[in-house]
């Protein structure tokens, strides 16, 4: 198992390699290559100038072999297929890690005006670049999911969405998509991700549709950080997040609900860990990831943001992992989703 310190270093500094499975831009905070690191699905930033390099399947630091195998995840066979109306499957959903299918069902966000958008997010950039389509229909997702399971052994599906203007904040379309996929591939475990819906009953609709876990992502519990980094989303009171998490835990179960916490947004590490403790207490898994500023985001294009120090990432990750272990909440116990996948966080290397 990779140590938390090394995993944090890699998350922050990235590696130089040519990974065939890679996503650029998209929702959320990363732009990574997908590899098996010591046999474990891992998303690593590709940084051509990194001191960490993959050569002949081994991880090197300044040319010295660190004793770990790195195998790029192979390009999945379903990427070569197209829908009847000619859309390549890879524009509808992408392979994450080794066995997770993931997509953003609505690739636009009501909060994407420059003064509103999350400064680390590039959700509409992959749409502009032509890498994906604006709205994935339930039928398209069912078709692609069936092929990904059959041809590539995919075991989980992660469905996220840009936020809509409706009171459901996009959850109703997610529920329609889940229903269609479950009908086509009943054994595929599905996680949905959305903002806290104003009508909490829609969380029950998502569960009834067949989703087994949910991510309701706050990114930070620090109000100043929220206002600065997420002016639009940060206007949703934390009380709405807490109400949605509680209801989601009631509906989906303890440790089937998760949220991202991003290290490197300027939050005091002790406060971040204290916030994680509150989440664990609620039964919500805090999925700790470092900020990865990517091109096309305001964080890079305007702010010149940089990644946090690896030592801070390792410290916060270790402390949050200890909280999770003490509460008997591990990512492996989640049935689907980012915590179950674990590729974007160092938490798994810390035993959570």
Q: Which residues bind ligand SF4 (CB under 6 A)?
A: 43, 96-97, 100, 102, 158, 338, 341, 343-344
Residues 6+ apart with CB under 8 A from 142: 180, 181, 183, 184, 185
Nearer to ligand SF4, 60 or 98 (CB): 98
CB of 291 to ligand SF4, least distance (A): 14
Nearer to ligand SF4, 182 or 341 (CB): 341
For residues 78 and 148, the answer to whether their CB atoms sit within 8 Å is yes
CB of 4 to ligand SF4, least distance (A): 16
Rounded to 5°, angle at Cα 325 from 71 and 309: 60
Nearer to ligand SF4, 102 or 180 (CB): 102
CB of 198 to ligand SF4, least distance (A): 26
CB of 109 to ligand SF4, least distance (A): 17
Kindly list the distances between the CA atom of residue 260 and the CA atoms of 2, 77, 287, in Å, as whole numbers in the listed order: 22, 30, 5
Nearer to ligand SF4, 60 or 307 (CB): 307
Nearer to ligand SF4, 31 or 60 (CB): 31
E strand or H helix that includes residue 326: helix 310-326
What is d(CA 327, CA 286) in angstroms, rounded to the nearest whole number? 12
What is d(CA 264, CA 174) in angstroms, rounded to the nearest whole number? 30
- DSSP code at position 39: T
Nearer to ligand SF4, 60 or 220 (CB): 220
For residues 341 and 158, the answer to whether their CB atoms sit within 8 Å is yes
CB of 143 to ligand SF4, least distance (A): 20
CB of 51 to ligand SF4, least distance (A): 23
């Amino acid at each position: 198992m990779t140590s938390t310190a090394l995993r944090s270093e890699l998350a922050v500094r990235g590696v130089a390699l040519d990974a065939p499975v890679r996503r650029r831009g998209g929702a959320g905070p990363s732009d990574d290559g997908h590899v098996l690191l010591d046999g474990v699905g891992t998303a690593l930033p590709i940084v051509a100038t990194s001191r960490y390099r993959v050569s002949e399947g081994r991880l090197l630091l300044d040319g010295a072999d660190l004793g770990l195998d790195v195998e790029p995840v192979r390009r999945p066979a379903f990427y070569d297929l197209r829908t009847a109306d000619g859309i390549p499957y890879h524009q509808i959903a992408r392979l994450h890690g080794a066995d997770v299918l993931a997509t953003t069902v609505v690739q636009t966000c009501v909060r994407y005006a420059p003064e509103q958008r999350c400064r680390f997010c590039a959700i509409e950039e992959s749409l502009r670049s032509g890498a994906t389509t604006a709205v994935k229909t339930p039928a398209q997702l069912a078709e692609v999911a069936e092929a990904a399971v059959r041809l590539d052994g995919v075991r989980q599906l992660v469905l996220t969405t840009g936020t809509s203007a409706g009171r459901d904040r996009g959850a109703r379309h997610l529920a329609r998509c889940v229903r269609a996929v479950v009908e086509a591939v009943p054994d595929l475990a599905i996680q949905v991700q959305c903002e806290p819906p104003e009508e909490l009953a829609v969380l029950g609709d998502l569960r009834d549709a067949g989703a087994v876990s949910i991510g309701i992502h706050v990114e930070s519990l620090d109000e100043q950080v929220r206002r600065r980094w997420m002016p639009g989303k940060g206007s949703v009171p934390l009380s709405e997040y807490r109400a949605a998490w509680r209801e989601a835990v009631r509906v989906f179960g303890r440790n089937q609900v998760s949220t991202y916490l991003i290290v490197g947004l300027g939050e005091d590490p002790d406060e971040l860990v204290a916030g994680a403790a509150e989440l664990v207490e609620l039964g919500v898994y805090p999925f700790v990831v470092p900020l990865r500023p990517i091109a096309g985001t305001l964080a890079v294009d305007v702010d010149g943001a940089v990644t946090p120090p690896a030592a801070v990432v390792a410290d916060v990750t270790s402390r949050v992992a200890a909280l999770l272990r003490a509460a008997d909440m591990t990512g492996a116990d989640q049935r689907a989703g980012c915590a179950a996948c674990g590729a974007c966080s160092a938490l798994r290397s810390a035993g959570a």
